Amino acid sequence: MKPMRVKMSGFSSLLTVDEALKRLLEVAKDHKLKVDEVHLEDSVDRVCAEDLLAPVDIPPFNRSAVDGYAVRYTDVLSASPSNPVELKIVGISEAGCDLETLPKVDPGKAVEIYTGAPLPFGADSVVMAEFCKRDGDRLWVSKPVAYMQNVSVKGEDFKAGELIVAKGVKLKPWHVGALASLGIMTVPVYRRPVVLVASTGLELKQLGSENHPGKIYDSTRPMLKALLKSINCTVLDLGILPDEPAYIMKAISKHLESVDLAIITGGTSLG
């Protein structure tokens, strides 16, 4: 269409910004983004595509929160500096050891234990090493402990089935840490929207091009590209197109099936 014919044709109606946005959102609400399964470490700033639940308890077993001795709390209720309780050490529990191989803590017995190590069967609390004195396999405890004191209880961080990340949440590094602690290696995320961007107008010139009288640098397209990338969109840049509807339609039509949105800028009023 010739420029003057465009001018003479006029606009049959005008849209406000709010009305234009309303129409766009009305169309967009039925558009379904595809879902990608990505490695956990590549998921930061991606949008979670489904609720993520804890598959197991964390911690997965009762474990010691301090270095000391695993005991039965009833054995040391009367312990004091002036009247320490004597126990027999029957083993050691270290971080990473197999709980099934540890000796059971029977009355009058204790197991040396380190932070993060599993609590042996029979034990129900941990006395800090600072309140104990040891000689070989003999142990004197000078301070009582409460039931499950100094113990990190199974499931106190996450319970199996608990919601960890809700659908629609933008994943952050702390989500990665939580999911990694649960052994989750990949997460479903929405595919980044693909947005086609083009400017129209023969008066425009590319950044870095030589100066030509009557032409101006295309500033809107670089701004839009930067904005779209800042919100995790993938940009398909068609560059600068002439102000010819048929040419514009031909240029963008081949891409419409593969993009989620097309943004064409240019023109002021009818000119």
Cα separation of 259 and 192, whole Å?
10
Domains and CATH numbers, the chain: 3-30+192-265 (3.40.980.10), 36-58+156-190 (3.90.105.10), 63-152 (2.170.190.11)
Which residues, other chains included, contact 220 with Cβ-Cβ below 8 Å and sequence gap of 6+?
Answer: 199, 265
**Average pLDDT for 156-176:** 97
Overall pTM > 0.75: no
Q: What is the pLDDT of residues 186-197, one digit of tens each?
A: 999 999 999 999
Q: Which residues of 61-98 are buried (b: 16+ CB within 10 A; e: fewer)?
A: ebbbebbbbbbbbebbeebeeeebbebebbbbbeeebe
Q: Is the pLDDT of residue 1 over 50?
A: no
Q: Is the pLDDT of residue 6 over 50?
A: no
Beta-sheet strands, E only, within 62-130: 63-64, 68-71, 85-93, 109-113, 125-128
